[in-house]
A = this chain, B = another copy of it.
Amino acid sequence: MGGARFMGAGVMSQGAQPALKTAGLIIIGDEILSGRTRDRNVQTLAVWLGELSVYVKEVRIIPDDRAVIVETVRTFADAFDYVFTSGGIGPTDDDITSEAVAAAVGRPHRLHQEAYDILNAYYGEEEFTLARQRMAQMPEGAGLIDNPVSKAPAFFVGPIFVLPGIPIILEAMLPGIAHRISGGPKVHIVTISVPMVEGEFAPLMAEISDMFPVVSIGSYPFLRAGQLGLSAVFRSTDAAAVE
């Protein structure tokens, strides 16, 4: 049940094929870990990155804990081409992502003048409280990410993109950073649904796999209206083989 046989990026990139680009996602927030909120950002980011030919290799959902954030950002920055974090960049004391990312990349955490000016113009002198001024503190050299919904900018440091947790704001920010993502070779995907259970499909899957070694095959069972079936997903950088 579940599972798939996809060749990992490592396998696919062997031989003549160019390396796939990879990403790791870090979802920061106790509200997801407690089950209070169901995460939506993993799917949003994974689909968007897939369209840019970047493949998500791992996701970690972690608490608002500085040491854990620092360690996870470092691990992911070493392992993947891109890192995306979501959550913990608001004005309250518990919003520690920005400072933790600065520590992870070994840069000072400082006032970002352009971010300060954007927030100051938006709130006005009176409303631009000390708490809100925290949102203008960023790792040195951070580039801003435009926020079309509620102004407060997110940021990136090299290949690490630090995004908010609110799904509607995160989604609105993605078009503004697409040009910063350089994808690998396009992976062609064909999905078919068949009224078979995995036990029946298994021998067929092994046969197809032998015939088309450059194609990775995943089998995803589902239970729909009381009927067991499965989706077979075929993937390869070789479009003809997939068909």
Residues in A lying within 8 Å of B, measured CB to CB: 1-6, 8, 27-40, 42-50, 55-65, 68, 86-97, 123, 127, 129, 131-132, 149-150, 152, 164-166, 168-169, 191, 198-203, 205-206, 209, 217-223, 228, 233
Q: Say whether B202 contacts A3, CB under 8 Å.
A: no
Q: Say whether B221 contacts A2, CB under 8 Å.
A: no
What residues on B are CB-neighbors of A5 within 8 Å? 64, 92-94
Of B1, B127, B223, the contact of A87 (CB 8 Å cutoff): B1
- Measured between alpha carbons, how far is A59 from B38 in the docked complex, in Å? 13
- Measured between alpha carbons, how far is A207 from B60 in the docked complex, in Å? 32
Known: A4-B31, A165-B2. A92 touches B201 (CB 8 A): yes
Known: A2-B28, A59-B59; 20 extra A-B contacts, CB below 8 A, are: A1-B87, A1-B165, A3-B89, A4-B31, A4-B64, A4-B94, A33-B55, A33-B56, A34-B55, A35-B42, A35-B48, A38-B40, A39-B43, A42-B61, A58-B62, A91-B202, A92-B202, A92-B205, A123-B199, A149-B223
What residues on B are CB-neighbors of A46 within 8 Å? 32-35
What residues on B are CB-neighbors of A198 within 8 Å? 90-92, 95, 131
Q: How far is the CB of A106 from chain B (nearest CB, A)?
A: 22
Q: Say whether A3 contacts B32, CB under 8 Å.
A: no
Q: Say whether B218 contacts A30, CB under 8 Å.
A: yes
How many copies of this chain does the complex contain?
Answer: 2
What residues on B are CB-neighbors of A219 within 8 Å? 90, 92, 94
Q: Say whether B222 contacts A166, CB under 8 Å.
A: yes
Q: How far is the CB of A150 from chain B (nearest CB, A)?
A: 7
- Measured between alpha carbons, how far is A30 from B46 in the docked complex, in Å? 11
- Measured between alpha carbons, how far is A46 from B95 in the docked complex, in Å? 22
Q: Say whether B2 contacts A29, CB under 8 Å.
A: yes
Q: How far is the CB of A140 from chain B (nearest CB, A)?
A: 22
Q: Jot down 29 A-B pairs with beta carbons below 8 A, ordered by A.
A: A1-B88, A1-B90, A2-B28, A2-B165, A2-B166, A3-B94, A4-B29, A4-B30, A8-B65, A31-B220, A33-B46, A33-B55, A33-B56, A35-B42, A35-B44, A35-B45, A35-B50, A38-B43, A39-B42, A42-B61, A61-B61, A90-B198, A92-B198, A93-B209, A94-B218, A94-B219, A123-B199, A150-B228, A166-B221
